[in-house]
Amino acid sequence: MGCSQGTTFMGFRRDSRRPGVRNLPVIFPLDASLSRLVELGSTSTGAVRVPVHDALTHLRSPFTLRVVADFLSNPNVGHVVLVSSTSSRDVAEAITGDLRRLDVPTETLNAEDCSSVAGFIQSIHDACAGATAGCATVDRISFPVSEMLVGTECGGSDGYSGLSANPVVGKVVDRLVSEGGAALLCELPEAIGAEHLLAQRAIDAETANRVTGAVLAWESLAARFGEDLRGAQPSPGNQDGGLTTIEEKSLGAIAKGGSTPLVEVVDYGQAPSRAGLVVMDTPGHDVEQMTGMAAAGAQIILFTTGRGTPTGSPVAPTLKIGTNPSVSQHLSSLIDFDASTVLSGESLDEAGAALFRLMLNTASGTPSLAERASQFDFALPPLGSSKLLAGTAR
Amino acid sequence: MTVLRLHGEDDVAVTTEPIAAGTGVNVSGIGLIHVVDPIPAGHKFATRRLERGATVHKYGSIIGLATQPIPTGAHVHTHNLASQRARGGGAPE
């Protein structure tokens, strides 16, 4: 604030990545069967444990390997402890190679190298404690906000999402982009019926065609499987909140993208190549989207919710923005920012400026409520990439 | 109570608080409308009469088709508004 060169935040220098807003020690089991031992070993060490479940049964697909390596090289990750078993040792080697190329300090613990379960748990504990101690020795320095990539998401939308929290996030995105930063707009199944507005904002015909094609691919995917999205989109919770059709939900959802030109469309987990508003082709599932945005390098996620979705990314601090007074009051332990004030007279500009300040404070180290609660979720899209599912996205 | 009509072409307005049937509310760009159904918070009502098959607008864009005649002031939701998109069993229109 008050700096003539523009807005800044206090972050961590990286050699081959964007600056981090955290310097996290992260432990990641490469085999779901190791989850319990990793939990026991990492408890109370300060390390962030990524909860890995069945999604990694596809771990050997090039898509999954890429996304896991990109997720673990998110700018906020300072040190990685991989835990592998006999069956995942080759995967550990491949991911370690990727992380080392990006200068992410990485070590691997192999279950078969330990002679006892207690010894393995102890070695997990020691590795996590060592990673935490190492990460704590690094100091923050000042960076321009143009170094930021911010992810946006809405989960548990209601009739207010498109009126309050989403356009408030849109104001933050506009401000960030005006200062040279980048933002991600995702969940393309929830852009059905609003793709024409995104296409109109595209910087060139190719980008316009790509965003339209990606949205229509999700729509035709549903048709190919004989699915009628009208039962699921909007979801029953969305419908209780007042949303009737997917078009209505979509028009409110894209308000998160603000008003600047659409500069690029990228695949799931792919890092943008330029500043500005970027669309990422992801499914609509909340946790899968967060994983994709973190893999793309988003340092912070702005997550709007009308129903009170209690989720967060293990590596990208996730700020919850309430759409209505009820969710903001009743779930105050989950909601970082109450955007419902715009329903009772505060301007979008004022609320947007306040959320922008909260985002900068969070970037500079103030923990989000999800971080305080260790509300950390991780999931990959089933069957691999959204492109594989959607077929004709390109 | 705040009633929001977001765009000059919109056929619906959203209420931020529940409205009882019969209540008169002032809608910007339209004037006084008597709501004919109870409208829950976050839900929408018609700001003009809509025929069956009419396109319904919010945010200045189409949000679906009226599946039955909708009188002015009526609750607009899944019982009388349907998506034109993402229907199973056929190409999108």
pLDDT score at A231: 55
Q: Testing the interface with A: which of B78, B83, B84, B93 to mutate, by most A Cβ within 10 A? A: B83
Confidence of residue A115 (pLDDT cuts 50, 70, 90): confident
ipTM over 0.95: no
pLDDT band at A363 (very low <50, low <70, confident <90, very high): very high
- Residue A357: band (very low, low, confident or very high) from pLDDT cuts 50, 70, 90: very high
Given the candidates 3.40.50.11900, 3.40.1710.10, 3.40.50.300, 3.30.70.2740, the CATH classification of the domain at A24-135 is 3.40.50.11900
For residue A386, pLDDT beyond 70: no
What distances in angstroms separate CA A236 from CA A156, A158, A239, A240, A249, one per listed residue? 10, 10, 5, 6, 13
Question: Which domains does chain B carry?
Answer: 3-82 (2.30.130.110)
Q: Do A163 and B89 touch (CB under 8 A)?
A: no
| pLDDT (mean) for A55-63 | 68
The distance in angstroms from the start CA to the end CA of chain A is 42
The two tokens of residue A323 are 């759409």
Contacts of B86 in chain A (CB under 8 A): 192, 219, 222-223, 228-230, 233, 246
Check whether A190 has a pLDDT greater than 70: yes
Q: A66-70, A238-242, A376-380 — which is least confidently predicted?
A: A238-242
Average the pLDDT over each of A81-90, A147-156, A198-207, A319-328 and give the range with the smallest value.
A81-90
Task: Say if pTM beats, i.e. exceeds, 0.90.
Answer: yes
Q: Is A257 on the interface with B (CB under 8 A)?
A: no
Q: Quick check: A343 contacting B, CB < 8 Å?
A: yes
Q: Among partner residues A225, A230, A248, which is closest to B58 by beta-carbon distance?
A: A248
Pick from A196, A225, A247: which is nearest to B83 by CB? A247
pLDDT of res. A394: 32
CB-based contact B76 A244, cutoff 8 Å: yes
- Contact call for residues A284 and A265 (beta carbons, < 8 A): no
Mean pLDDT for A295-299 is 98
CB contact under 8 A, B83 and A230: yes
Query: pLDDT, tens digit, for every residue of B27-77?
Result: 988 999 999 999 999 999 999 999 999 999 999 999 999 999 999 999 999
Residues 205-224 of chain A with CB under 8 A from chain B are 216, 219-220, 222-223
Distance set, CA A173 to CA A120, A169, A309, A327, B76 (Å): 45, 6, 22, 23, 32
